[in-house]
Structure 1
Amino acid sequence: MGTHISVIGNIKEIRTFDDKPFVCLEVSSIGKYGTVQKGLPEPTREIHHTVLVSKKQLNRIEKEVAPFDVPLLGSEVYVWGIPTFDLTYDVLEGDFGIITQEIKSLTARKTELDWIERGAYF
């Protein structure tokens, strides 16, 4: 089993290609203060990830946000996948790439919980 990485961040850009079977989501994340152990440096900048998702994964996540009238662009996502630096320059825009194994919309989940709390979710 290879190395996997988990990332939580916001989708800043969605790029599609006519000649490739995947879509690139440019996801930006920054470490939250207080999450590092004492004595370690605090995170100082955003990290930009090029997240490769299949078109099927993209359709599924679009369906997650659709009932809540939340745009996918700008929404917060959880990504679990395999990190890679071996992408061509026309694909890789972020600091490194992630080949997605799992992706979930955290914005849709938070909105759903908010609706349930207010009794507006049926």
Structure 2
Amino acid sequence: MSDFLGIHGTALALREQRLQLLAANIANADTPGYQAQDLDFTHALGAALRPSAEAGDPIAAAAEAARYTRPSSQPSLDGNTVDGDLENAVFAQAVLEYRASMSFVESKVRGMLTAITGQ
């Protein structure tokens, strides 16, 4: 993400990646053997903000490094670790966090437009 948006742009991109993982969990709730995935947001954000000599997308690399398999809260005969109620609650919280990050980005852009136009 650009330096213009600072930490907020990076956070927004990582929150989007987390939402995609959580949506995949919900979509695969009935898939035998599917292992629920999540993203350690704090770890991913720290990794994405650290300068790296690696080429490529630092946000995608940080998200992949912070990805983990969530342990099952209940045993299942088919090996699926998705708990529908837990996934829906975690997804709802992640949506709120995404909206908060979006508000920060919108505020930053609005401030820059005000500075540019002088209004």
| TM-score, normalised by the number of residues in structure 2 | 0.27
Q: Which has the higher contact order (CA 8 A, sep 6+)?
A: 2
More helix, by proportion? 2
| TM-score, normalised by the number of residues in structure 1 | 0.26
Structure of greater Rg? 2
